[in-house]
Chain A
Amino acid sequence: MQKVILWLSIISVTVFSCKTKKSNANYKIFRYNETQGIGSLDPAFANTPPNMWAVNQIFNGLVEVDNQLAIRPSLAESWTISRDGRVYTFKLKKGVFFHDNEVFENGKGREVTAYDFVYSFKRIVDPKTESRGSWIFNGKVKTNSLGAIADDAFKAIGDYTLQITLQQPFSPFLKLLTMPYGFVVPKEAVEKYGKDFRTHPVGTGPFYFKIWNEGSTLVLLKNLNYWKTDNVGVKLPYLDGVQISFITDENMAFINFNQKKFDFLSGINESSRDMIIDHDGIIKKEFADKFKVQKLLYMNTEYIGFQLDTSKYIDKNHPILDKRIRQALNYAIDRDELITYLRNGLGIPGTAGIVPYPILFKHKIKGYYYNPQKSTELLKQAGFAKKKLHLTFYTTPPYRQIAEYLQKSWGKLGIEVKIEVNQAATHRSMADKGEIKFFRASWIGDYLDPENYLALFYGNNFAPKGPNKTHYKNSTFDNLYEEAQTQNDQDLRMENYSKMDQLMMEEAPIIVLFYDELIRLAQNNVQGLEPNAMNMLFLESVKLN
């Protein structure tokens, strides 16, 4: 027996102490975690932030957004828009090469031409690709007599000129092209790998794909031939590589970050939030010394939706269909208090419209403030002075706390609200089908334009086919929306959008809770990681000291 134990201990000591290879510390590898996981590295499937972050490192498009949210050239050197706003002509940069890969002749990356863009865009709209992004072109670019996308909608004129023709002018079109769906991919790789292009991405970006051990680690390495340089002419990127881990639990990821196993962490769980910031939203001193903390306002509006479609109700006189009730529910919420106590000061109170005004509008429109008197008055007008109002509010598990806070706020005014919690997938499908009439929701801007938010209230966008979950329909709003799409004067267009936002809020199809802020943490040796309202991760000019 003693011998056995002795042997066991000898074996275990040797096995566990065998030296694991440590990667060379001289290399600058930027490590971060993705709790949600990455589904695909194919830009055609970049529909979640984690996918977009990784895809952004590997590929480039015609144009890109900088940290100040202005559109700047990427692979396009310059562009012109025809007078009628329908024809976009891009002049491409010369001497941009795809990553070296076995799909090319001799394994050397080939030069990018306008034909590659034509191929990439046609691939996005091809139903066979099943791309999640065909909506950026469908219904916008030129169609033929059958209603399908015309052959010459995307046209290469020589190797370095690309022309895109729209059916009707669509002012935010350039902004659409900054999305990953507009990135250029090489035909050779797509044809070789087919559906598995998702694990064999080849692009032009600052990093090339090295290895992806799914669910455990993803490694991208420095593209030595990257076309971009910094302002003193040094070739980008500075980093030697990027390593992404996939720890599913946010608290676990935070523990690992704390132990310096990651250079960067985005998104902090509620339980860890208290460790970092106090209730005034000020970052705690001991934390600020240890790490770089960024508080970042990004394009996410958290709101509560009402189902306005009478056909979805059995009781055609349901209180939710009464505008006064919806307004009363709106006035009953103290958004400042909510942000202070439930969110540690993270977020801007939702006292304007659906569009996150600090980012996209110059002026704030009039939304709903905390005003219990007005609330009571509106309830009285609607006939609920004595009679109690009963409603059921639907939410998802992470928002339970907020829901309970709201329940209390409404309860103070005599509105009895029951909370139902469902898993995200269920919640979403019920809201889309109009089975639930009073539900939490959020909208993360796909691109930097109010149009993207106001599309949620356009009459032709009813869910589940479109994003209009509330089935709000207003002909004035719809006319303004259509008019704004063709407006070339940006100031006028923005004015139109704020008018629409105001018009919609007056009807109160939603309760805007807050415009979201998030915490991004970085180790002290990380430099050049600028926050941006798109919550994108740009690593090409990041340094590790």
Chain B
Amino acid sequence: MLKFIFKRLFYGFLVIFGVLIVVFFIFHALPGDPVAMMVGQRSDVATREVIEKELGLNKPLPTQLAHYLNDVSIISLHENTDENKTRYRYTSLVNVGNNTLVIKAPYLRRSFQTNKRVDEIIFEHMEGTFWLAIAAMIFATVFGIVFGIFCALKQNTFIDHSLIIVSILGISVPSFVAAILVIWLFAVLLSDYTGLNATGQLWDTDPMTGETYLVLKNLILPAFTLGLRPLSIIVQLTRSSMLEVLTQDYIRTARAKGLKYYAIIVKHALKNALNPVITAVSGWLASLMAGAFFIEWVFNWKGLGLVAIKSVESLDFPVVMGCTLFIAMVFVFVNIVVDILYATIDPRVRLD
């Protein structure tokens, strides 16, 4: 088990490293001048040169990459100055001449646009994405399983067919189209009845006291929209796996024993039918954490996707890179967890 985890962590590290290199070069291959985006329409030579120097944009690309890697790396080499100390927040290990070998948390630099530390930006925006993904997943799983069982039990009836058709629609409608429809319907046309906002955050601020308070209702529409696709998939998965299980011999045995209908469905059939569903759900979670870009954009939901899209527009390299690395990390981590989970649930799967 431990050996497996270490092996996967090592592969994960390689994946993240690869992502870093690819994103770095793609980003720098894009035409566009980040300094021009920072200074605005009017500037002078001096200002531009100062900024270029500060950001290291005047150096050749390989040097820039090396510097970035050094900044991100946990163990790195820096000049031992007070300025660097406050910037990197490191602990010195060994002094090498003027430089010092240090251990530190990855330094993701500061945003070009706002000058805010990127780790702070990610930390601030992570929460929104996280709760949105969780809420969407819970919604999709609960309703998906319920509808799936329902369809399986009423196989080939009108309800079964219509639910399947609706779920195909749910899989194929692009998320931003669904988002706009949902907003138009629930937050504009029916807003007087639903009381829901077209946009809004999980936390709202009381202007006079500055206190923040939870507004859960703002989570409903984005989570619903984000959950539509997984919901549809879970309905179909549950339905087919349930149908398969229901034809098994042990179900017939249970019936023959005279067990109650619900006991057969819930205790015997469902338990076995859920295996593929659970692995699918946990696999989806990672992509929901990363894939809510459109939903976050349309609902203006404060999350990683929203901030990443905005930063691409303004060529804010550190933020784009930071978000990408973070999402890659989430993916690697969740995938390892899913593999372990898979092995735990289904004894036929071995980790090695």
* Range for the number of chain A residues in contact with chain B: 35 or more
Binds B, one of A163-171, A374-382, A425-433, A505-513: A425-433
Complex interface: chain B residues within 8 A of A134 (CB): 44, 46-47
Contact (Cβ within 8 A) A426 B46: no
Q: How far is the CB of A503 from chain B (nearest CB, A)?
A: 22
Does A217 make an interface contact (CB < 8 A)? Answer: yes
Residue of B nearest to A18 (CB): B216
A21 and B302 CA atoms in complex are apart in Å by 21
Task: Give the contact stretch, choosing among A23-31, A114-122, A398-406.
Answer: A23-31
Interface residues of A in 27-55 (CB under 8 A from B): 27, 29, 37, 39-40, 45, 47-48
Count of inter-chain pairs, beta carbons less than 8 A: 169
Cα–Cα, bound, A464→B113 (Å): 19
Q: Are A47 and B315 in contact (CB under 8 A)?
A: no
0/1 string, B142-155, CB within 8 A of A gives 1:
10001000000000
Interface residues of B in 191-213 (CB under 8 A from A): 191, 197-199, 201, 203-208, 210-213
Q: Does A243 count as interface, using CB distance less than 8 angstroms? A: yes
Q: Does B6 interact with chain A (Cβ within 8 Å)?
A: no
A240 CB within 8 Å of chain B? yes
Chain B residues with CB under 8 Å of A40's CB are: 114-115
Q: Are A249 and B205 in contact (CB under 8 A)?
A: no
Least CB distance from B34 to A in Å reads 8
- Could you tell me which residues of chain B, from 229 to 252, have a CB within 8 Å of some CB in chain A? none
**Contact residue among A23, A196, A259, A424 (Cβ-Cβ distance under 8 Å from B206):** A23
In-complex Cβ contact of B205 among A37, A211, A446 (8 A): A211
CA distance A241 to B205 in the complex (A): 13
Check B188 against A255 for contact (C-beta < 8 Å).
yes
Interface: A198 (CB within 8 A): yes
B125, CB-defined interface residue at 8 Å: yes
Chain A positions within 8 Å of B352 at CB level: none
Residue of A nearest to B32 (CB): A425
Q: Is B100 on the interface with A (CB-CB < 8 A)?
A: no
Minimum distance in angstroms from A389 CB to a CB of chain B: 27
* Given A130-B51, A248-B300, A259-B191, residue A425 in contact with residue B37 (CB < 8 A): yes
B181 → chain A closest CB, angstroms: 14
Closest chain B residue to A249 by CB distance?
B300
Instruction: Give CA–CA (A158, B197) in the complex, Å.
Output: 55
* Chain A residues positioned under 8 Å from B198 (CB to CB): 252, 255-256, 259
Q: Is B7 an interface residue (CB 8 A)?
A: no
List A contacts of B215 (CB < 8 A). 20
Q: Which residues of A contact B38 (CB under 8 A)?
A: 132
Q: Mark B276-319, 1 if CB is under 8 A from A, else 0.
A: 00000000000000000000011010100011001001110000
| Contact status B125-A215, CB under 8 Å | yes
**Closest-CB distance, B89 to chain A (whole angstroms):** 14
Distance between Cα atoms of A15 and B113 in the complex (Å): 38
Among candidates B48, B187, B266, residue contacting A1 with C-beta atoms closer than 8 Å: B266
Determine if A138 and B33 form an interchain contact, defined as CB atoms under 8 angstroms apart. Answer: no
- Tell me the chain A residues, 239-296 only, with Cβ under 8 Å from chain B: 240-241, 243, 246-249, 252, 255-256, 259, 261
* Contact pick for A466, options B40, B44, B146, B204, CB 8 Å: B44
Is there an interface contact between B207 and A443, defined as CB atoms closer than 8 Å? no
A residues near B66, Cβ cutoff 8 Å: none
Q: Contact at A219–B216, with CB atoms within 8 Å?
A: no
Task: For B211, list chain A residues within 8 Å (CB).
Answer: 21
Question: Is B82 in contact with chain A by the CB < 8 A criterion?
Answer: no
> A45: which of B34, B115, B121, B197 is its contact (CB, 8 Å)?
B115
Q: In the docked arrangement, what's the CA distance between A259 and B146, Å?
A: 36
What's the Cα separation between A470 and B325 when bound, in Å? 40
| 28 A–B contacts from the bound complex (CB under 8 Å) | A5-B146, A20-B217, A27-B208, A39-B114, A47-B42, A132-B38, A138-B44, A138-B47, A195-B115, A214-B121, A215-B125, A215-B306, A221-B208, A243-B205, A243-B207, A249-B298, A252-B199, A255-B188, A255-B198, A422-B31, A423-B313, A425-B315, A428-B32, A428-B37, A429-B36, A444-B41, A466-B44, A466-B45
- Since A259-B191, A429-B33 are in contact, a sample of 7 more A-B pairs with Cβ atoms closer than 8 Å, ordered by chain A residue number, is A29-B208, A132-B40, A134-B44, A247-B199, A252-B199, A444-B41, A446-B41
The list of the 8 closest CB pairs from A to B, nearest first, reads A47-B40, A425-B32, A429-B33, A135-B44, A211-B210, A127-B50, A39-B114, A216-B201
